[in-house]
Structure 1
Amino acid sequence: MSTVRALAIDFGGTLANPGPSPDGSKVAGILGSLPGMTVSDGFAAVFDSITGQLRRTDRDLGTQTPFAERLCQAAIESGTVLPENVDTIVEKVFTAIPDGEIDAAAAQTLRLLHDRGMTCVLACDTQRPSTTRRATLQSAGILNCFHALVLSSEIGVRKPHSRFYDAVVAAAGCPVSEILFVGDTPAKDAIAPHARGMRSVLIATQRPAGLEESIGVIEHFSMLPEYLEALDAP
């Protein structure tokens, strides 16, 4: 095995096919199915409008607005009354909306690397709370492979915010040079962590133009063990 001691692993596009995002009509339908809930006719449109505004702000600032905040703001502006425990509503929404489907070959590779003693940290942007993402990993039989989960929904910032990578390094518990970041988005999963002193490998069918040669490229997560072995080759 290479001198890499820890893997920081993206979720959608790396371990799994991305799941659907909750739009206003889906959220309104889920809320309306809850006992005692009455959802106003304008909730869906208001929710979609607020989501669009906050996504633009989050993208510019590198932040992650809590889903609960979006729910509450849409409820206030549309005249919908939510139960007091909004976190429970958030979990119900993301339980009803499927998470990403984990790739079987990627899961098998993750188990192999974990069994070889590699520290694995899930490092991804997501609206979903940790409870629902953990349930997804548990269902696929790989939750125990992760030493820690670094989720933008929990820490309030998204890649490529510097605080996100600080959280990854802290969770990995080893020198930054011994961490390999694995993901499918060049700017967030390869270039930014590499600039922070980590190694990185991009999941892509071909090398993007201008990508530094020191950043690796593999076509699928299942090729990662071979890539790691090659790092130690003369």
Structure 2
Amino acid sequence: MALALDFGGTLARPGPNPDAATVTEVLRGLPGASIPDGFAAVFDQVARRVRAADRQRGEQTAFAEQVRLAALESGAVLDDPAAATRAVFTAVPDAEIDARAARALRELHDSGLICVLACDTQRPESVRRRTLRDAGISDCFDALVLSSTLGVRKPHPRFYAAVVEATGCPAAEILFVGDTPAKDVIGPRTHGMRAVLISAEGRPAELDPAIGVIAHLAELPAYLESLHER
């Protein structure tokens, strides 16, 4: 059996996204960069345009590509958008991993579950791996499935196909756990997986009664044990 685990709102408290002013400040500190005064406004315009197009296609444009487009349109000089992206997400804190959730993950991993992180994020894989490493749980994940790497976000079918491939298990043997019904429950179930919703407010009225609901990831080991006993 494998566990596919969401990140923000499930394993961690959501972190901030970089605003245009922060991006501009970080880029101006990079060697060889020349960032004009109008860059922040252009970056905002590019980000809005890209988000709208991505929503229509169900895709995700890499943050580095947004930076490259903003540099091109503003006349900025920037040697390496990928390095710029790493610098931005080093300056902007990632989400804070919940200690109780981390302990539950450790217990589940040590019990023999294959564990895959499966989440939407703008952050590159190197940054997310650093966050997991700093929290002492990087070894708990057999693979990372990130929208920033795939180029598609949940609930795109390619995302769930990548989760199945990453686990190496049949879809029916994968339990997807997250806090967003459409992305972490309905989407996975549509693609043959099982799912558990994390909801501190309790079961949503419209949710299928057959779907398990827990208030916090810390409850997942006991929930799985109860299923095993039944």
TM-score category of the 2 structures, normalised to the smaller one: over 0.9
Give the corresponding residue for 1:199: 194
1:86: Cα distance to partner? 2.1
For the residues of structure 1 that align with 2:33 and 2:54, how far apart are their CA atoms?
A: 30
Alignment of 1:28-177 (within 5 A): 28-83=24-79, 85-177=80-172
User: Identity across aligned pairs (percent)?
Assistant: 60
Q: Write the distance in 2 (CA, Å) between the matches of 1:109 and 1:131.
A: 24
Equivalent position amino acid for 2:132 in 1: L
Residue in structure 1 matching 2:179, options 179, 184, 187: 184
Q: Alignment partner for residue 219 of structure 2, among 223, 227, 234?
A: 223
Q: Distance in 1 between matches of 2:229 and 2:53?
A: 45
- Alignment check: 8 A CA contact 2:30 2:84 kept: no
Cα offset for 1:207? 1.0
Distance 2:63 2:92 in 1: 14
Q: Partners of 1:89 and 1:71 in 2: how far apart?
A: 8
Unaligned runs of 5+ in 1: none
Alpha-carbon offset, residue 55 of structure 1: 1.3
Post-superposition offset of 1:73: 0.7
- Superimposed CA distance per residue, residues 49-100 of structure 1 (whole angstroms, 9 cap, x where no aligned partner): 11112112212221010111100111111111111x2211111111111100
Q: How much does 1:221 deviate?
A: 0.4
Amino acid at match of 1:35: P
Q: CA RMSD in A?
A: 1.0
TM-score (norm 1): 0.95
Distance in 2 of aligned mates of 1:19 and 1:219: 20
Give the distance between the partners of 2:163 and 2:32, measured in 1 at CA: 41
- Report deviation, 1:36: 3.2
Q: How many residues align?
A: 229
TM-score (normalizing by structure 2): 0.97
Distance 1:17 1:87 in 2: 26
Aligned-residue offset at 1:27: 0.2
Contact 1:23 1:47 in 2 (8 A): no
Paired position in structure 2 for 1:21 = 17
Measure how far apart 1:35 and its partner are.
2.9
1:113 deviation in Å? 0.6
Name the SS of the counterpart of 2:218 in structure 1.
Answer: helix
